[in-house]
Amino acid sequence: MSFSDDLLAWYDRHARILPWRSPPGAPAPDAYRVWLSEVMLQQTTVAAVRPYFERFTARWPTVGALAAAEDAELMAAWAGLGYYSRARNLLACARVVVAEHGGRFPSTTAELRRLPGIGEYTAAAVAAIAFREGALVVDGNVERVISRLFAIETPLPAAKPQVRAHAAALTPGERPGDHAQAMMDLGATICTPRKPACAICPVRGHCRAFAQGRPDAFPVKAPRTPKPHRRGYAYWIEDQGHVLLVTRPPRGLLGGMRALPVSEWSDSPGLAEGDWDLVGPPVRHVFTHFALDLTVLRGSGEFEGEWWPIDALAEAGLPTLFDKAARLALEHRMETAC
**Residues of this chain that bind ligand SF4 (CB under 6 A):** 145, 148-149, 190-191, 196-198, 201, 203-204, 207, 209-210, 215
Q: For residue 133, which of 102, 112, 105, 107 has the smallest C-alpha distance?
A: 107
Q: From the CB of 184, what's the least distance to ligand SF4, in Å? A: 13
Q: Which is nearer to ligand SF4, 75 or 186 (CB)?
A: 186
Question: Could you give phi then psi for residue 222, rounded to 5 degrees?
Answer: -70, 145
**38 included as an active-site residue:** yes
Q: Which is nearer to ligand SF4, 136 or 207 (CB)?
A: 207
Active-site residue, selected from the candidate residues 38, 70, 120, 153: 38
In whole angstroms, give the CA distance from residue 214 to residue 174.
32
How many residues make up the chain in this entry? 338
Q: From the CB of 10, what's the least distance to ligand SF4, in Å? A: 10
Q: Which is nearer to ligand SF4, 87 or 207 (CB)?
A: 207
Q: From the CB of 70, what's the least distance to ligand SF4, in Å? A: 45
Q: Which is nearer to ligand SF4, 138 or 296 (CB)?
A: 138
DSSP secondary structure, 93-156, as one string: HHHHHHHHHTT---SSHHHHHTSTT--HHHHHHHHHHHH--------HHHHHHHHHHTT--SPB
Contact yes or no for 101/95 (Cβ under 8 A): no
Residue 75, class by beta-carbon neighbours within 10 Å (0-12 exposed, 13-18 middle, 19+ buried)?
A: buried
106 cis-preceded (ω within 30 degrees of 0):
no
**Helices (H) and strands (E) in the chain — how many of each?**
13, 8
Q: Which is nearer to ligand SF4, 90 or 146 (CB)?
A: 146
Tell me whether strands 283-286 and 229-236 are parallel, antiparallel or unpaired. Answer: unpaired
Residue 65, class by beta-carbon neighbours within 10 Å (0-12 exposed, 13-18 middle, 19+ buried)?
A: middle
In whole angstroms, give the CA distance from residue 177 to residue 132.
5
Q: Which is nearer to ligand SF4, 133 or 143 (CB)?
A: 143
Q: From the CB of 46, what's the least distance to ligand SF4, in Å? A: 19
Q: From the CB of 149, what's the least distance to ligand SF4, in Å? A: 5
Contact yes or no for 242/308 (Cβ under 8 A): yes
For residue 333, what are the contacts with CB-CB under 8 A and spacing of at least 6?
Answer: 238, 298
Q: Which is nearer to ligand SF4, 191 or 318 (CB)?
A: 191
Is the sign of the CA dihedral 69, 75, 81, 87 positive or negative? Answer: positive
Q: From the CB of 271, what's the least distance to ligand SF4, in Å? A: 52
Q: From the CB of 25, what's the least distance to ligand SF4, in Å? A: 23
Which residues are marked as active site? 38
